Structure 1
Amino acid sequence: MKHIQINASRNYEVLIGRNLLKDAGKWIANVLKPCKLCIITDDTVAKLYAEPLHASLKEEGFELCQYVFAHGELSKNVTTYSQILEYMASENLTRTDAVVALGGGVTGDMAGFAAASYLRGIPFIQIPTTLLAAVDSSVGGKTGVNLESGKNLVGAFWQPSLVLCDCDTFKSLSYDLMLDGISEAIKYGAIVDSVLFDFIAQEDIFSDSVLEQITAHCVRIKSEVVEEDEKETGRRQLLNFGHTVGHAIEKCSHYTISHGHAVAIGMLIAARAAFKLGYSKENCAPAIEESLKKYRYPLHCPYTAKELAAVALNDKKRSGQEITLVLPSVIGECYLQKTKISELEHFIAQGLSE
């Protein structure tokens, strides 16, 4: 098992290994005193992993309650968030109690936001069950929900007390769900680590040991970035490579195109446009496209530059009349480029044309 320390406004460990869920109670008992835990999960994950988690937590003396919502990005909204808060209140949770997020990125974001805001903040634990959540969203303390106007427009920075990643849970994922995580791993390689990028592009990463290795590697990269810029005022924005257009694709599709698939397309659009407009030292698009095609990502974007720009202008990375784009200079090195909002549609149009 790998232990990765995160030093932020709350210091905590990320534990990455196999067969960890059955001992979750022991690991959580190391960071929380016996209390009432509210497990928040979706209806798919609950059937798979709630029972062993409950058994382990009860064995350590924790009192339990559980809230289950309908799986999928469409549930990541203010209504579900409000229902979670009402449930927590009905269970009389206090400031000495805690939330456990059991599931993927949607669960972790909503459970974390509920923990951040209930009674002005109670502890929470992340137990990611998808590759996407394990390599990215469960670490770093970004929590929130979507609005009708756009993705992740309401939320808070609220660090967990522990992240427990049992890589055995990846075995229950479909190939498409695995792709959602692989695109985030490719992103890490593209922004700061060309060796990681080349490894994912060239090797078969689906063996158990390699997936565990890649998960830990991505978490280490994110830990370094978060420790330097926890509140995303500077370098942490690099982690948004592919996300401005990706989030717009998700929203335009009414979330029928998943986050990881949309980010894959978003990275390719950003790389193409950056080279055509003279922002890149080298053309990074072919390498990114080749890597994505290796894993059979659907790379056609069904939306126009005008449609995507209209949605992207609601992105939280906008500041006044500018929006911050993450662009590749070379593979393994990205930078932040402030762009006038009047130029965004043209930028996207350049990226849509091959």
Structure 2
Amino acid sequence: MSNLNERKKHILRAVTDDYIDTAEPVGSRTIARRYKLGISSATIRNEMADLEESGYLYQPHTSAGRIPSDKGYRYYVDVLVDPGIPTQDETKKINQLFSHQKEAMEKLVRRSTKLLAELTDYISVAVIPEHQNSTFRHLQLVSLDPYNVLAILVVDPGIVENKIFVTEKPFLPGELERISAHLNKKLRGLKVEDLSRTILAEIRDSSPMTRDLLEALLELIDESLADTDDEMLICDGVIHILDQPEFQDIDKTKLVLSMIENRQSLANILLDFSSSSGVQVSIGEENLRPELKEMSLVTATYYRGGHSVGTIGVLGPTRMSYGRVIRLVEEISFVLSEVLESF
């Protein structure tokens, strides 16, 4: 990272802040008038020319002002921007989101993603674990009445499936408790994808589990495995892309939307960040996918038990409000990790 003197830092920050706010190229007179840097417009113009020569700014049109390059945004993110702490309103909404700690992890991540889109006005994305990689944690069979049973399947990390089914014979609550305890003892720690019909049939032979109960549990397990890889990706706020001036060009919009539609491709991009700690920011040309060359992606990993569970983040134009997005992605991923510890 090249060192810039304090004057150039102030000017680069001012140009970047102004362009993020207005989406219009920034001239030296604008900087002199709005930002009160204590130097003349001519001096600012010379400094901006130096920043352009160094690759931090560029001029999109001959007669226009200047805007940040990807290099300029990178310096802004790494050196100049101060994400600060969440505002009172942001904190209130985040606390409301996580007040329902016992809901299924998938629902919690979906609601987190929705809130990120609402608070940032950009596209929010998240990746949740594949069910096939999950392990059996707990099964609870609850008698609703003698013939109706609620089955609740919990698999690490915090994925919950439930189903109500009708049995051929009546079950007393005590019987279901004994069956649940027997199954938990036999199955805890096994991968969900390994819970085959054969394994459950062997367990059925050594427990009071009836055939219809076995079939219901197999159906529940099948449902927990039914999500395809595409469903790993959660996406919200796609409509926000239409609000960005950069994407008034329908061809650009189609390019981004096609990538989002190819959900596994975007999920793979997010998974690449899952081993990284802290907030990660990928800007413009730093992104390998051509569809993201004019986009920035801000992500953070969320954890359970010290292990990476998934990735959550925000996708928007390179002209992104980085400070706000970084603090919100960081805060939501942090609180999400705390909540998952209670699962």
Q: Same fold (TM over 0.5)?
A: no
The TM-score with structure 1 as length reference comes to 0.24
Q: Which entry has the higher C-alpha Rg, 1 or 2?
A: 2
